[in-house]
Amino acid sequence: MVYVVCLVIAVLSAFTGSLIGLGGGVVLIPAMLFMHHYTDAFTWAVPQVIVGISLITMIFTACSSTIAYIKKGRVHYRIGGLLLLGSIPGGILGSWLNQFIHADSFSLYFGVLMILLSLLFFIKRKRSGNLDQSGERTSATYISVLPAFFISLTVGVISGLFGIGGGAIMVPAMIVLFGLPIHIATATSMFMILFISIISASTHIALGHITWQYVLIFIPGALIGGTLGAKVSQLISSNALEWVLRIVLVLVGARLIMEGLM
């Protein structure tokens, strides 16, 4: 029964993550924390193990999603590459810090993070400017390297620490700071998550946080959910996707804060 639940969580988290560019961790982590708190069958699902599983699962979610998005020409390689600069050292640092967090504190911190991220969507964004259908600007784009580096460093730390891939920060950041349409931001986010999750997962493997018997259940679910999410994303308007993202972040955040305070 545990394996069936894990497979269902994997499909749903990968589908949601691919659909809105979050990598799936914002669904997988809370779902596994919920199971850990409410059934003895998931006593093994402590934060360190959950984060490790989430990051490895995201490699496959991001891989299947990125392939689908690349075929549609939606990945903005220049912005994605720039924002990866700080993500690699950040991911290693965050993965190392994860081992010091207790389960209840983890739920509380993760919940607060989700609420704060949802507020990013209420910040007045930059105009998207002259963007073609692939998301590339038809005129020159000026991006400040230093702010982009610190944003990507923060994303890397949060990814390794909480196992969420960083898309929950990168999608709003690319929309608000760089003026990218959400469909392009989502695709570029998944492209970045592929590399961030590989680095962060490798660090968790080195630290011994991986329970392989469960990881092998999550991988096929991630491949299925990631592919489906990328396809469904093409059928939904940008405004609808933004509201889905807001609602998911607020609901997940509120639930985790309550669990962390109980």
Q: Read off the pLDDT of each residue in 3-9 and give the average, rounded to a whole number.
A: 91
Q: Phi, psi at residue 138, to the nearest 5°?
A: -85, -15
Range of weakest confidence among 17-31, 36-50, 93-107: 17-31
Q: Where are the beta strands (DSSP E) in 135-262?
A: none
If pLDDT is split at 50, 70 and 90, which confidence band does 8 have? very high
Cα(240)–Cα(238) distance, integer angstroms: 5
Cα(248)–Cα(262) distance, integer angstroms: 22
Tens digit of pLDDT for each residue in 190-242? 898 888 888 888 888 888 878 888 888 888 888 888 888 878 877 877 677 77
What sign has the CA pseudo-torsion 31, 170, 196, 134? positive
Q: What are the Cα distances from residue 78, in Å, to 37, 90, 145, 148, 163?
A: 42, 20, 12, 12, 25
Q: What's the pLDDT score for residue 121?
A: 64
Q: Indicate the Cα dihedral angle 59, 65, 66, 68, nearest 10°.
A: 150
If pLDDT is split at 50, 70 and 90, which confidence band does 245 have? confident
State percent of the chain over pLDDT 90.
3
Are 16 and 9 contacting, i.e. CB atoms less than 8 angstroms apart? Answer: no
Tens digit of pLDDT for each residue in 109-128? 888 877 887 776 666 555 44
Tens digit of pLDDT for each residue in 158-190? 878 877 767 767 777 787 777 888 888 888 988
The tokens for 138 are 């038809």
What is the tally of structural domains in the chain? 1
User: Residue 256 pLDDT > 80, yes or no?
Assistant: no
Average pLDDT, the chain: 79
| Most confidently modeled range among 128-137, 144-153, 160-169 | 144-153
Q: What are the Cα distances from residue 102, in Å, to 97, 98, 108?
A: 11, 9, 10
Residue range(s) defining the domain that contains residue 63: 2-261
Are 43 and 205 contacting, i.e. CB atoms less than 8 angstroms apart? Answer: no
